[in-house]
C-alpha cells in the first residue's frame, strides 16, 4: 500500500504547503447601493498594505496586537493625503482565519465609489485582484475546508429556498464529507488487508477471506447507492426546476407567470404576440425553487423579432424539466395547438385549459384523447382559479412527501454524482472479481479506483484542473 498512498499524500501535502505568496484583494459585498461595503485582503502583506492606507482616530498603526478588533479611522490616499472614506478595519491573524492566512477587512460605505476606490488603493499598494473563489480556494489548499465543503460555500450563497440553504449548510458543516470518509475507510481497510496478504504471505498475518472482502464490498456498494438515490432530489433543491410555459399566442401564458409570481412581471395584453423574449423568474413552491419561464406564443410568423422569440421558446423546451402547456378553452383547437400537443406528448408536462370563464368552444374530450396520460387542469387565470391545483400538481409530480427528510444527506452537486457513479461502477467490478475468485491484486485495482473516485469528492485526490474549474464558478471576493 505504501507507494501509491504516499504518492497521493505527498501530492496533497504539496498542495497544502504550497506557498501562495501574493496577497489578494477583492470587494466581498455585492456591488450597488448599500449601508456597508467590504474590501477584503488575504496574504502575508495584508497588514502592511493596510497600514500604508489606514489612519486610525486613536492609533497611528494597526499592529498584530489588534488581532480581531475593529478599529475606527480613515482610508487615505498616500499620494495626496485625500480622505477616501471613513471606515472600520479588522486585522485577523493567521492561522485562525477563513483562508488560514493573515487577513484584513475594511468596512466602508456601501456605494460603488468608496469600495471601488479602496480596492484600487489596496491593489496599487501591493495586492493583486483575487480570482473568482480564490479566498475559498486558499481555505481549501491550506486545509481549512475540504473540497465538498468549499463547494457548499457557493451553494450557500446561491441557495434559492430555505431547504436548499439547509442542505448547503449541512455540507459546509462537513456532513457529506464525513459520510464519504466513512465509506473510504471501509475501502482502505479492504486495501490494507489485501496489501498485507500480497506483501507478507509467509508471515503470520490473518489473511482476509474472499467472503469478508465481498461482505465489505457490498456494504460500500449499498452506501454509495443510497447516496446516489438522493441525487435527483438534491439537484431539484439546488438548481430548481425549469418549468417552461408553452402555448400559442394569447392563451394566457404571461398571465400565468404573473399569477404564479403574484406580481405583474410580464406584459399582458389581448394582442397575440405580446411576449417576444424569454422571461425567467424564480418562485418558491414549498421549498422547491421553481424557475418559471414565460415564452413567446408558438406560431408561424413573418415578424423577424417574433420569429426569434418563437425559436427561443422551442430551444427552452429542450432544457425544461417540466412543460406547462396552456390552451385556450374559448377557441377551437388550431394548427398551433396541435404543434404544442406534439411537443408535450413525450415530455414531463402539465396541461392547462385556460379561459374557462368564457363560453367553451373547446372539445376537452378530444384533448384527453390526444394526450391521454397528461393531467389536465381547468383554469381561469384571470380570476386566479386553478393556480393552487397547478402548484400541487408540480409538487406531486416531482416529490411526493417531504423534499428534505431530517438527517438526510443529499447529493446536490453533479460533480459529486458523477464521482459516485464511477465509484459504484468500480466497486461493482471489484465485487465481480471477488465472486469469480480473481487474484487479489486485480481486485485491489478496482477497490483503489473506487477509493480515489470518492476522494475526488472531498478533494483528497484531485487534480489542479478540476480545482480550477470548481473555483472559477465562484464569485469574486469569496
Ligand atoms: N377571459 C379570460 N381572459 C384571460 C385569461 N387569462 C388571460 N386572459 C387574457 O388573455 C389575453 C392574453 O393574455 P397573455 O397572458 O398576454 O397571453 P400570452 O399567452 O402571454 O400571449 P402572447 O404573449 O401573445 O403569446 C389578455 O387580455 C389576458 O387578460 C382567463 O383566464 N380568462
Ligand atoms: Mg405573453
The confidence score (pLDDT) of residue 204 equals 62
Q: Which three cell numbers stand for residue 405?
A: 427528510
Binding residues for GTP: 250-255, 269-275, 294-297
Nearest of 88, 104, 83 to residue 56 by alpha carbon:
88
Are 118 and 108 a contacting pair, CB within 8 Å? yes
86: left (phi over 0), alpha (psi -120 to 50) or beta: beta
Binding residues for K(+): 250, 269, 271, 274
Q: Which three cell numbers stand for residue 262?
A: 403574484
Ligand 1 atom closest to the Cα of residue 256 is 15
Angle 217-220-222 from CA coordinates, rounded to 5°: 110
Are 477 and 30 a contacting pair, CB within 8 Å? no
Q: Whose CA is nearest to atom 12 of ligand 1?
A: 250
Q: List all residues whose CB is within 6 A of at least one atom of ligand 1.
A: 247, 249-255, 268-270, 272-275, 296-297, 354-355, 357-358, 380-382
Rounded Cα distance between 280 and 243, Å, is 9
Instruction: Give φ, ψ of 119 to 5 degrees.
Output: -60, -45
In the chain, the domains with their CATH numbers are 24-130 (3.30.1360.120), 162-230+409-472 (1.20.120.430), 239-398 (3.40.50.300)
Q: Which ligand is nearest to the CA of 271?
A: 1
Q: Whose CA is nearest to atom 21 of ligand 1?
A: 250
Quote the ligand 1 centre to 251 CA distance (angstroms). 5
Q: Which ligand is nearest to the CA of 256?
A: 1
Which residues fall within 8 angstroms of residue 451, CB to CB, at 6 or more apart?
A: 184, 187, 188, 191
Quote the ligand 1 centre to 143 CA distance (angstroms). 56
User: Which of 252, 253, 269, 384 gets mutated to test ligand 1 (max ligand atoms within 8 A of its CB)?
Assistant: 252
Rounded Cα distance between 429 and 435, Å, is 10
User: Which of 255, 334, 353 gets mutated to test ligand 1 (max ligand atoms within 8 A of its CB)?
Assistant: 255
Rounded Cα distance between 424 and 228, Å, is 9
Are 446 and 207 a contacting pair, CB within 8 Å? no
Question: Residue 280: beta bridge partners?
Answer: 293
Nearest of 70, 20, 448, 427 to residue 228 by alpha carbon:
427
Mean pLDDT by runs of 10 across the 478 residues of the chain is 50 49 94 95 97 94 93 97 97 97 98 96 97 95 95 92 90 95 96 85 70 96 95 85 95 97 94 93 87 93 90 92 95 92 92 94 83 92 95 83 62 95 98 95 96 95 87 88
Q: Name the 3-class secondary structure at 4.
A: helix
Cell 477584503 locates to 40
Q: What is the DSSP letter of 401?
A: S
Quote the ligand 2 centre to 248 CA distance (angstroms). 9
Rounded Cα distance between 309 and 388, Å, is 29
The confidence score (pLDDT) of residue 142 equals 95
Q: Which ligand is nearest to the CA of 297?
A: 1
Are 75 and 60 a contacting pair, CB within 8 Å? no
Q: Which three cell numbers stand for residue 404?
A: 428534505
Are 122 and 39 a contacting pair, CB within 8 Å? yes
Nearest of 45, 261, 289, 255 to residue 163 by alpha carbon:
289
Quote the ligand 1 centre to 390 CA distance (angstroms). 17
Q: Which ligand is nearest to the CA of 360?
A: 1
Amino acid at each position: 500500500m505504501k507507494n501509491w498512498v504516499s504518492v497521493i499524500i505527498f501530492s496533497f501535502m504539496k498542495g497544502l504547503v504550497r506557498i501562495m505568496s501574493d496577497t489578494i484583494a477583492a470587494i466581498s459585498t455585492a456591488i450597488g447601493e448599500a449601508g456597508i461595503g467590504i474590501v477584503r485582503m488575504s496574504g502575508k502583506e495584508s497588514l502592511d498594505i493596510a497600514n500604508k492606507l489606514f489612519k486610525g482616530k486613536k492609533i497611528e498603526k494597526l499592529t498584530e496586537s489588534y488581532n480581531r478588533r475593529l478599529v475606527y479611522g480613515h482610508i487615505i490616499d498616500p499620494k495626496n493625503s485625500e480622505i477616501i472614506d471613513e471606515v472600520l478595519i479588522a486585522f485577523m491573524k493567521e492561522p485562525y482565519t477563513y483562508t488560514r492566512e493573515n487577513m484584513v477587512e475594511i468596512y466602508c460605505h456601501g456605494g460603488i465609489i468608496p469600495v471601488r476606490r479602496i480596492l484600487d488603493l489596496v491593489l496599487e499598494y501591493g495586492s493583486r485582484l483575487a480570482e473568482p473563489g480564490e479566498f475559498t480556494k486558499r481555505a481549501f489548499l491550506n486545509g481549512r475546508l475540504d473540497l465538498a465543503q468549499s463547494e457548499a460555500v457557493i451553494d450557500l450563497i446561491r441557495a434559492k429556498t430555505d431547504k436548499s440553504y439547509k442542505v448547503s449548510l449541512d455540507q459546509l458543516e462537513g456532513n457529506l464529507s464525513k459520510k464519504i470518509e466513512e465509506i473510504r475507510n471501509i475501502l482502505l481497510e479492504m486495501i490494507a488487508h489485501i496489501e498485507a496478504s500480497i506483501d507478507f504471505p509467509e508471515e503470520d498475518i490473518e489473511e482476509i477471506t474472499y467472503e469478508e472482502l465481498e461482505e465489505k464490498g457490498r456494504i460500500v456498494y449499498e452506501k454509495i447507492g443510497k447516496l446516489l438515490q438522493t441525487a435527483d432530489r438534491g439537484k431539484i433543491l439546488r438548481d430548481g426546476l425549469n418549468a417552461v410555459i408553452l402555448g400559442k399566442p394569447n392563451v394566457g401564458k404571461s398571465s400565468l407567470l404573473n399569477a404564479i409570481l403574484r406580481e405583474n412581471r410580464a406584459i399582458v395584453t389581448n394582442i397575440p404576440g405580446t411576449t417576444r423574449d424569454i422571461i425567467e423568474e424564480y418562485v418558491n413552491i414549498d421549498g422547491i425553487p421553481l424557475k418559471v419561464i414565460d415564452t413567446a406564443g408558438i406560431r408561424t410568423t413573418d415578424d423577424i423579432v417574433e420569429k426569434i422569440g418563437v425559436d427561443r421558446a422551442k430551444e427552452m423546451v429542450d432544457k425544461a424539466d417540466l412543460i406547462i402547456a396552456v390552451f385556450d378553452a374559448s377557441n377551437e383547437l388550431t394548427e398551433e395547438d396541435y404543434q404544442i400537443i406534439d411537443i408535450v406528448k413525450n415530455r414531463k408536462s402539465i396541461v392547462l385549459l385556460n379561459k374557462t370563464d368564457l363560453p367553451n368552444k373547446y372539445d376537452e374530450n378530444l384533448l384527453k384523447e390526444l394526450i391521454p396520460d397528461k393531467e389536465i387542469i381547468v383554469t381561469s387565470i384571470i380570476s386566479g382559479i386553478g393556480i393552487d391545483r397547478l402548484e400541487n400538481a408540480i409538487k406531486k409530480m416531482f416529490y411526493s412527501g417531504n423534499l428534505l427528510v431530517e438527517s438526510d444527506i443529499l447529493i446536490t452537486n453533479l460533480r459529486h454524482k458523477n464521482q459516485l457513479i464511477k465509484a459504484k461502477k468500480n466497486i461493482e467490478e471489484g465485487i465481480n472479481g471477488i465472486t469469480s475468485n480473481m487474484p487479489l491484486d486485480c481486485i485491489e485495482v478496482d477497490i483503489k479506483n473506487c477509493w480515489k473516485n470518492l476522494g475526488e469528492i472531498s478533494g483528497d485526490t484531485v487534480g489542479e484542473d478540476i480545482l480550477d474549474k470548481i473555483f472559477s464558478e465562484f464569485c469574486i471576493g469569496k
